[in-house]
């Protein structure tokens, strides 16, 4: 026979797990948890009664209250490339994306029902409308080369204003890439090629002109340098000839007979040094004076 203490112990062991389960069910039914990255709405029979909850544990009435939670972190909407017309009625293909987050949870639920796909579609429509308006005010040249930062800031402000009824805040709108359709690209590339060729021809013409100017200046300097060098060489040669004549004159003045004899020897060496020369002279000519003196002839 079991003692009362044993029975009491068995009852406690049976009821304790049941009590814990009941506490957990009660806690989960009457409370809800809001994380740091979430916003929460409390609804009573489908009507929003509160949208201001700090992170933590909060109470609700089962069945009567429903809780809607949404991610309040920054979301990225990467849109599909769209075709827009510029002020020139030329098509451009624009690939863009946007950064957004929930700003007013109650309005977000009323406008989109909390559906992510619907939110993306509605937000994309507003972004495309703003892009169409801004690109429609600009030429292709302005779209491609103008200040992108100013354009992005303008788009962000405009899209944020247009998306206010969705209960979201658009933080940033960026254009990733702007492409031209093939038919437009070809005409633009042809125009760019023609412009580059015109610039190249102009540069080549200017280069040719500069080359001719440099070449003419170089030829002029060459002529001047050669003329000055020739002048200087002639002056040096003249000075050398004068010096030589002076030396010869001094030498001749010291011993005129020896100098005349030396000059005659130089003449003989020059005349008879190379074989095969024929000279027709009279034997008593002045040229053979020293030969006659050497042989004792008058």
Q: Tell whether the model's pLDDT for residue 290 goes beyond 70.
A: no
Question: Mean pLDDT, to the nearest integer, of 250-272?
Answer: 71
pLDDT digits (tens, 9 = 90+) for 190-231: 888 888 899 999 999 999 999 999 999 999 999 999 999 998
Higher pLDDT, 269 or 146: 269
Task: Please provide the distance, in angstroms rounded to a whole number, between the alpha carbons at the two ends of the chain.
Answer: 190
CA 92, distance to chain mean position in Å, is 23
Q: Which residue, 175, 173, 177, 176, is CA-closest to 100? A: 173
Residue 294 has pLDDT above 60, yes or no: no
Residue 36 tokens, joined: 């740091």
**Cα gap 157→175, rounded to integer Å:** 14
The number of C-alpha atoms within 13 Å of 40 and in the hemisphere containing its C-beta is 19
CA distances to 31, 112, 115 from 167, rounded to whole Å, are 26, 9, 13
pLDDT in tens, 243-252: 888 887 777 7
What is the helix (H) or strand (E) element at residue 85, kind and residue range? strand 82-85
Residues 160 and 126: beta-carbon distance below 8 Å: no
The pLDDT assigned to 1 comes to: 46
**C-beta separation of 238 from 245 below 8 A:** no
Element (H, E) at 86: none
Under the banding of pLDDT at 50, 70 and 90, the label for residue 180 is confident
pLDDT of residue 86 exceeding 90: no
Q: Phi then psi for 162, rounded to 5 degrees?
A: -70, -25
């Amino acid at each position: 026979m079991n003692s009362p203490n044993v029975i009491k112990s068995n009852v406690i062991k049976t009821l304790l797990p049941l009590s814990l389960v009941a506490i957990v069910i009660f806690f989960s039914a009457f409370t809800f948890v809001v994380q740091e990255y979430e916003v929460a709405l409390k609804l009573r029979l489908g009507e929003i009664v509160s949208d201001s909850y700090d992170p933590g544990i909060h109470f609700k009435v089962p069945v009567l209250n429903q809780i809607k939670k949404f991610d309040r972190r920054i979301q990225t909407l990467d849109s599909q490339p769209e075709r827009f017309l510029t002020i020139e009625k030329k098509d451009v293909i624009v690939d863009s994306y946007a950064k957004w987050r929930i700003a007013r949870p109650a309005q977000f639920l009323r406008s989109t029902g909390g559906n992510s796909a619907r939110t993306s579609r509605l937000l994309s429509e507003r972004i495309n409308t703003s892009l169409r308006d801004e690109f429609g005010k600009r030429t292709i040249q302005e779209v491609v080369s103008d200040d992108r930062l100013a354009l992005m800031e303008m788009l962000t402000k405009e899209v944020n204003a247009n998306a206010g009824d969705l209960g979201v805040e658009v933080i940033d709108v960026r254009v990733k890439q702007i492409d031209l359709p093939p038919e437009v690209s070809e005409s633009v590339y042809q125009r760019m090629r023609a412009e580059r060729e015109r610039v190249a021809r102009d540069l080549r013409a200017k280069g040719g002109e500069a080359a001719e100017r440099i070449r003419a200046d170089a030829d002029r300097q060459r002529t001047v340098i050669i003329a000055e060098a020739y002048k200087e060489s002639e002056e040096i040669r003249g000075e050398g000839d004068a010096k030589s004549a002076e030396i010869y004159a001094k030498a001749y003045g010291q011993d005129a007979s020896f100098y005349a004899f030396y000059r005659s020897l130089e003449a003989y060496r020059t005349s008879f040094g190379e074989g095969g020369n024929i000279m027709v002279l009279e034997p008593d000519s002045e040229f053979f004076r020293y030969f006659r003196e050497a042989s004792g002839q008058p």
